[in-house]
């Protein structure tokens, strides 16, 4: 088995590269062409076996997740995905594994526009680092720093679904032992929020010109809102009763990570109608002066929460 057989397997079912890819895989580097008057958006994220995914995760599910969590960062910037690089470290690889991995990448990219343009293979403990690239019209990137006092706070979809799915995997012996036998099509609805998270790429692009600030909920809603407030120099109040929560206790949902929804702020009086989607966008709170994030019950009293989000390290 040569490295080139593995690369061929990774690229086997790829469609012809689009016009913006001047050079795809196979040279020292990829070469991409930008639309005029745009800026380049770049992000990277690593998934390590046993820490960010379960050891039995099949290659297509692993690849899907590795790309989706990166696309979520582009979504949070309002960027249009263009290309991505995959740096794959694995103890061993074969052609069948690579073909399934490749299928997972294609599934996660979907209609987002992101195309595999390069990467690297290395031998070592299983870990996948994806670097995504995208574009925004010049000056239109959705930053964490743009929230202002009085802005409304919204979240897309619902939170807590990934936590519910992880619990199912942890406690349901059938789900866990069945994990290694799953393929992309066979993932039951309840496991999808964790195993196959959907990056809100189209929504992010629609939020350009609407949202004053944006972040993806990967570390937990309270933690990520805290990041946004820090960068914006503001505080926030969140209304517990308003939170769109899936299947778990709302107090757990706000500190659980891995949901990959978009959390964004909108200046008072600005309509979000043109951002609307079948995801649902929920008004969950308000930006206020000061620092920090307060979670408020229906009677206006502050609710204490135990743990604030996922620590990367």
Binding site for a second copy (CB under 8 A): 2-3, 6, 22-23, 26-34, 36, 39-52, 73-74, 76-77, 79, 83, 85-87, 89, 93, 117-125, 127, 129, 131-134, 136, 138-139, 141, 143-145, 214-216, 231, 311-313
Rounded distance, CA 251 to CA 205, Å? 30
CB of 241 to a second copy, least distance (A): 28
Contacts of 249 (CB under 8 A, 6+ apart): none
CB of 109 to a second copy, least distance (A): 16
Rounded distance, CA 114 to CA 94, Å? 25
Judged by CB, which is closer to a second copy: 165, or 214?
A: 214
Judged by CB, which is closer to a second copy: 36, or 269?
A: 36
With beta carbons less than 8 A apart as the criterion, state whether 167 and 220 touch: no
CB of 15 to a second copy, least distance (A): 20
With beta carbons less than 8 A apart as the criterion, state whether 106 and 184 touch: no
Residue 131 Cα distances to 48, 69, 82, 300, angstroms: 15, 10, 11, 43
CB of 190 to a second copy, least distance (A): 27
CB of 96 to a second copy, least distance (A): 15
Judged by CB, which is closer to a second copy: 40, or 276?
A: 40
Residue 282 Cα distances to 18, 40, 156, 200, 288, angstroms: 36, 30, 6, 15, 18
**How does 46-76 read in b/e, with b if 16+ C-beta sit within 10 Å?**
bbebeebbbeebbbbbbbbbbbbbbbbbbbb
Rounded distance, CA 91 to CA 49, Å? 11
With beta carbons less than 8 A apart as the criterion, state whether 260 and 69 touch: yes
Judged by CB, which is closer to a second copy: 131, or 175?
A: 131
CB of 118 to a second copy, least distance (A): 6
Judged by CB, which is closer to a second copy: 186, or 233?
A: 233
Q: Which of the 8 DSSP states describes residue 180?
A: G
CB of 116 to a second copy, least distance (A): 12
Judged by CB, which is closer to a second copy: 86, or 164?
A: 86
Residue 310 Cα distances to 31, 87, 202, 266, 281, angstroms: 35, 24, 26, 26, 24
Judged by CB, which is closer to a second copy: 143, or 305?
A: 143
Q: How many residues does the chain have?
A: 313
CB of 166 to a second copy, least distance (A): 18
Rounded distance, CA 62 to CA 184, Å? 10
CB of 159 to a second copy, least distance (A): 17
Rounded distance, CA 279 to CA 154, Å? 12
């Amino acid at each position: 088995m040569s490295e080139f057989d593995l690369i061929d397997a990774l690229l086997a079912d790829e469609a012809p590269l689009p016009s913006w890819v001047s050079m795809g895989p196979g040279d020292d580097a990829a070469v991409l062409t930008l639309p005029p008057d745009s800026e380049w958006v770049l992000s990277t994220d690593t998934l390590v076996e046993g820490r960010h995914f379960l050891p039995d995760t099949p290659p297509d599910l692993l690849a899907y997740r590795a790309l989706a969590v990166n696309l979520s960062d582009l979504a949070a910037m309002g960027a249009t995905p263009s290309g991505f690089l995959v740096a794959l470290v694995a103890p061993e690889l074969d052609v069948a594994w690579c073909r399934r991995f490749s299928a997972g990448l294609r599934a996660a990219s979907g209609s987002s526009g992101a195309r595999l343009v390069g990467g690297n293979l290395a031998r070592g403990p299983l870990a996948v680092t994806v670097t995504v690239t995208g574009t925004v019209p010049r000056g239109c990137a959705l930053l964490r720093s743009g929230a202002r006092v009085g802005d409304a706070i919204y979240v897309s979809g619902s939170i807590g679904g990934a936590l519910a799915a992880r619990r199912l995997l942890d406690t349901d012996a059938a789900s866990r032992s069945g994990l290694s036998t799953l393929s992309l099509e066979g993932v039951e609805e309840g496991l999808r929020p964790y195993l196959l998270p959907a990056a809100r790429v189209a929504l992010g692009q629609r939020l350009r010109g609407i949202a004053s600030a944006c972040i993806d909920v990967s570390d937990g809603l309270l933690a990520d809102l805290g990041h946004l407030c820090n960068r914006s120099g503001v505080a926030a109040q969140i209304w517990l009763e308003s939170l769109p929560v899936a299947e778990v206790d709302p107090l757990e949902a706000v500190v659980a990570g891995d949901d990959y929804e978009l959390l964004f702020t909108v200046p008072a009086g600005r309509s979000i109608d043109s951002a609307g989607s079948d995801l649902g966008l929920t008004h969950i709170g308000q930006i206020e002066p000061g620092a920090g994030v307060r979670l408020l019950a229906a009677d206006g009293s502050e609710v204490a929460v135990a743990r604030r989000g996922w620590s990367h390290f």
